Amino acid sequence: MKSQFLLEMQGISKGFPGVQANKDINFNLRRGEVHALLGENGAGKTTLMKILFGLYKPDAGEIMLNGNQIEISSPEEAIRKGIGMVHQHFMLIPPFTVLENIILGAEPRKSLGRLDKRKAVEKINKLSQQLGLKVDLGAKIENVTVGMQQRVEILKALYREAEILILDEPTSVLTPQEADELGGILRELAASGKGIVFITHKLKEVMKFADRITVIRGGKVVDTVNSSETNMEKLAEMMVGRKVFLQMEKAPVKPGKVILETKDLEVLDNRNLQTVKDVNLQVRAGEILAIAGVDGNGQSELIEALTGLRPVANGQILIEGEEIKYADPRSILESGVGHIPEDRQKRGLILDFSIQENIILELYRTPGFCHKGFIKTDKCRGYAEELIEEFDIRTPGPGIFASSLSGGNQQKVVIAREIRREPKLLIVAQPTRGLDVGAIEFVHKQLIRQRDLGKAILLFSLELDEILSLADRIAVIYEGEIVAILPREEATEEELGLMMTGGLSGRKGGVVNE
């Protein structure tokens, strides 16, 4: 009898030293469906899919494909069996063209081993037309948008005739419009008979795109439900094991004096091209000003200029009226600026240092933690233990390497260190990137609390839901320019999405209590 499932994973278990990632998991996928896989960071969902793609070997359990038991020992074997995976960080070669990336390792050959480029182009064009995946085959990856790169990754898998497609956090760097386009592509793929596994932490997209949803918590399956029979609140509670507040409650904004001001700010990128153009901003005490924009529109360079990591080409940066344009990063921190960087592993932490060492990175030279050039170890340990408890950092102790923590707990270390210094200005970039719904709730509460304590917060985020939940005012950046500043209550997701892509002329202003 033919199985009703395209894929079945039965009794899957996988352990690593000190961690049981998967515990007797049962998961199935029907042909023609989008099946979402939900769970907190470290819940085991990516481990499960890496087993399916041949990157890990399970300790126990079996995999059935079309009712037949199979073993998958490598990604190459998974691809041969019709399983493709689009990873969270794209596996593309930037200097290569779209065509070269799609066919790399699977090039059709003529006689004498010559590349049959025409055959490859015909096959890709046919796939593109069937699914509406329009791509420029001659464009170099380094010159196309993130959304286009994702289409290339999907075409790469389909070109290898994948019947099962796994997408890991596929919308994490997309605009709302691009995410909707991707959702349409997934529906088309499902309608053509493919089975889609969709790993994400965005509950709104799960409800919009998925047919069924499997929730994993602590390495075990909590439940599998039809999307038509659940809602975001129920899913969040299943993921975390408690009620989660998806929309933050905020008191009305009470902005105070201007803490940060930029005047006609210009910044160059690594190629000496102008990437931040005449930016004029004010951030006041007691407010959150959020910068909304598609990734790569000058946000990183602006953050680096404000924190002393990149020189300013022209214009001014003022903290409470004092010029800091030429100050070094340490001087800027000591002037009352906190920085939660967009990449916690590269800029926020030293992964081979302990939690304790990371927590005192900005304090170890101060009298409270140092005496005659020697660090007060007991004092540092006590301070670290205090922050671990206050910020709910899940760790056996302060001596554990930062590299051993989950992404959410690494982010809590950075947030604890920056907030506890009580800066007057917090520059916060992508604070919840890659975090699960429980960790997101914690981070958002911390930022709102700091705002209510009178701190000025400049928030950079690629997540429009996050911006709309936290911001008091929103500035939209496009190609390095601020094209609009508007109060949160006047902003809609659709309008912001259009302005972020240059599709709608902005409106300046919206300064509260100017």
**Is 459:471 a contact under the CB 8 Å cutoff?**
yes
Give the up-direction half-sphere exposure of residue 422: CA atoms within 13 A in the CB hemisphere.
2
Give which of 448, 493, 494, 454 is closest to 471, Cα–Cα.
448
Give the pLDDT of residue 512: 36
The per-residue DSSP string of 323-374 comes to E-TT--HHHHHHTTEEEE-S-IIIII--TTSBHHHHHTTTTTTSTTTEETTE
Tokens of 157: 């898998």
Diameter over CA atoms, the chain: 79
Mean pLDDT of the 352-369 span: 90
Percentages helix, strand, coil for the chain, rounded to the nearest 5?
Answer: 35, 25, 40
What is the C-alpha separation between 134 and 115, in angstroms, rounded?
23
Mean pLDDT, rounded, for 244-252? 79
Nearest to 232 by CA among 216, 242, 220, 246: 246
Residue 483 has pLDDT above 90, yes or no: yes
What's the CATH fold of domain 7-240?
Answer: Rossmann fold (3.40.50)
The CA R_g of the chain, rounded to the nearest whole Å, is 24
Whole-angstrom CA distances from 164 to 1, 6, 34, 118, 404 are 21, 8, 10, 27, 32
Domain edges within the chain: 7-240, 245-336+423-514, 351-421
SS3 174: coil
pLDDT given for residue 169 in this prediction: 80
Q: pLDDT for 46-58, tens place per residue?
A: 899 999 999 999 9
- Quote the CA–CA distance of 40 and 393 in Å, as a whole number: 15
- Strand bridging mode 212-217 / 220-226: antiparallel
Among 122-126, 206-210, 288-292, 436-440, name the most confident range: 288-292
146: closest CA among 100, 86, 224, 67? Answer: 86
With H, G, I as helix, E, B as strand and everything else as coil, classify residue 386: helix
- The percentage of the chain sitting over the pLDDT mark of 70, rounded to a whole number, equals 96
| 307 in Cβ contact with 268 (< 8 Å) | no
- Does residue 71 carry a pLDDT above 80? yes
Instruction: Give the model's pLDDT for residue 506.
Output: 52
pLDDT at 510: 43
pLDDT at 132 over 80: no
- pTM for the structure as a whole: 0.71
Supply the pLDDT for residue 147.
76
The winner for highest mean pLDDT among 14-18, 286-290, 369-373 is 286-290
Summary mean pLDDT of the chain: 89
Give the pLDDT score at 504: 66
Domain 7-240 matches domain 245-336+423-514 at the CATH topology level: yes
CATH top class, domain 245-336+423-514: alpha beta
Q: Are 292 and 338 in contact (CB under 8 A)?
A: no
Residue 161 phi, psi dihedral angles, 5° rounding: 65, 45
